[in-house]
Chains A and B, each alone.
Chain A
């Protein structure tokens, strides 16, 4: 059911006539573009309809890989409340970086106050008995 002319007053009838006239004046270039757009849309529907159902699983390997990666992340990520062991070398490495970056301290070590460090290492090697 569409709008009848009887439902419109004179003003609306005139505007409708004008609008319809303006539609008839749409030039050939626009009509051609619209025609192309329509055929492109219909071609896409035909393509989608003719695609075999199994082709919709074409991305299954990629999806599987993503799922495996996600699973690995979930399994290896620390759970809430779980303590994460810190490797002994990790914090030392940062300190070493600071040491190297700080040129003054490095110079001090090189200038020969090595005796203290040698003593400290010897004490550590000897164990707790040596310090007491």
Chain B
């Protein structure tokens, strides 16, 4: 009992006081813990990917949150190996929905010349986008500049190329996993990735970090 109690406290699980452990609850907790670990492992990179596509912090957060909810609602019972491609597929669909909605909204707002989109104002607010007042060393400045250039170049890539590049180079997925996430063949993934690298290299040159 004491050994079990120690383990339980490590994993923050309730301790069964009368020796009987409900196997269903135990499985559920284990499943939730695995799902929690998975989501924690992808959330930052997923946010970065969403932000790269949407260039808007709130929209990126919403996209990641929606993807998390949809994954847990619909696919929590699927094998853990399937979660990553499924999650990124859901995320990409959500990003595409937001981009479409934004396009429609821009078309409607084009008829109202006096209208100023407050969210866009927020997205490109020079005050919030400005670097902090803390003096950065030259190395940090170089990194900042390279990062900004890379993020801009990534945003300008076609959706599929950006997705293939980020899933391979940021998330570190192999071609088969990327193909599953993008819903296309491995050959298409290789083509999109090759074109993305070529476009980025042409845009950024052989920058050093």
A1 interface hit (Cβ, 8 Å): yes
Give the residue name and chain of the A residue nearest to B33 (CB). A42
Q: How far is the CA of A54 from the CA of B181 in the complex (A)?
A: 36
Interface set of A (CB-CB < 8 Å, partner B): 1-3, 8, 10-12, 14-23, 26, 30-31, 33-35, 37-38, 40-42, 44-46, 48-49
Give the residue name and chain of the B residue nearest to A16 (CB). B169
Give the residue name and chain of the A residue nearest to B60 (CB). A30
User: Is the beta-carbon distance between B209 and A17 smaller than 8 angstroms?
Assistant: yes
B57 interface hit (Cβ, 8 Å): yes
6 A–B contact pairs at CB < 8 A?
A: A1-B174, A26-B48, A34-B43, A34-B44, A38-B40, A44-B69
Chain B residues in 8 Å Cβ range of A14: 207-209
User: Is the beta-carbon distance between B201 and A11 smaller than 8 angstroms?
Assistant: yes
Question: In chain B, residues 28-76, which have Cβ atoms closer than 8 Å to a Cβ of chain A?
Answer: 28, 32, 35-36, 39-40, 43-45, 47-48, 57, 61, 64-65, 68-69, 71-73, 76
Across the interface, B206 reaches (CB within 8 A) one of A11, A19, A22, A35, namely A11
Q: How far is the CA of A23 from the CA of B174 in the complex (A)?
A: 20
Chain B residues in 8 Å Cβ range of A38: 36, 39-40, 43, 68
Q: B8-16, B105-113, B144-152: which lies at the A interface?
A: B144-152
User: Is the beta-carbon distance between A2 and B172 smaller than 8 angstroms?
Assistant: yes
Give the residue name and chain of the A residue nearest to B61 (CB). A33
User: Is the beta-carbon distance between A19 and B169 smaller than 8 angstroms?
Assistant: yes
The binding surface of chain B is classed by DSSP as helix
Interface set of B (CB-CB < 8 Å, partner A): 28, 32, 35-36, 39-40, 43-45, 47-48, 57, 61, 64-65, 68-69, 71-73, 76, 143, 146-147, 150-151, 166, 168-170, 172-174, 176-177, 197, 200-201, 206-209
Give the residue name and chain of the B residue nearest to A26 (CB). B44
User: Is the beta-carbon distance between A20 and B170 smaller than 8 angstroms?
Assistant: yes
Across the interface, B168 reaches (CB within 8 A) one of A3, A17, A34, namely A3
User: Is the beta-carbon distance between A46 and B32 smaller than 8 angstroms?
Assistant: yes
Across the interface, B73 reaches (CB within 8 A) one of A11, A20, A26, A48, namely A48
User: Is the beta-carbon distance between A26 and B208 smaller than 8 angstroms?
Assistant: no
User: Is the beta-carbon distance between A26 and B47 smaller than 8 angstroms?
Assistant: yes
Across the interface, B28 reaches (CB within 8 A) one of A10, A37, A49, namely A49
Chain B residues in 8 Å Cβ range of A31: 44
User: Is the beta-carbon distance between B72 and A8 smaller than 8 angstroms?
Assistant: no
Across the interface, B143 reaches (CB within 8 A) one of A1, A3, A18, A48, namely A18
Across the interface, A34 reaches (CB within 8 A) one of B64, B143, B176, B200, namely B64
Knowing A33-B61, A34-B64 are in contact, say whether A8-B169 is a contact too (CB < 8 A): yes
Q: How far is the CA of A113 from the CA of B44 in the complex (A)?
A: 91
Knowing A22-B147, A23-B170 are in contact, say whether A30-B72 is a contact too (CB < 8 A): no
User: Is the beta-carbon distance between A30 and B61 smaller than 8 angstroms?
Assistant: yes
Q: How far is the CA of A42 from the CA of B147 in the complex (A)?
A: 33
Q: How far is the CA of A21 from the CA of B201 in the complex (A)?
A: 19
User: Is the beta-carbon distance between A45 and B168 smaller than 8 angstroms?
Assistant: no
User: Is the beta-carbon distance between B28 and A18 smaller than 8 angstroms?
Assistant: no
CB distance from B169 to the nearest CB of A (A): 5
Chain B residues in 8 Å Cβ range of A21: 143, 147, 209
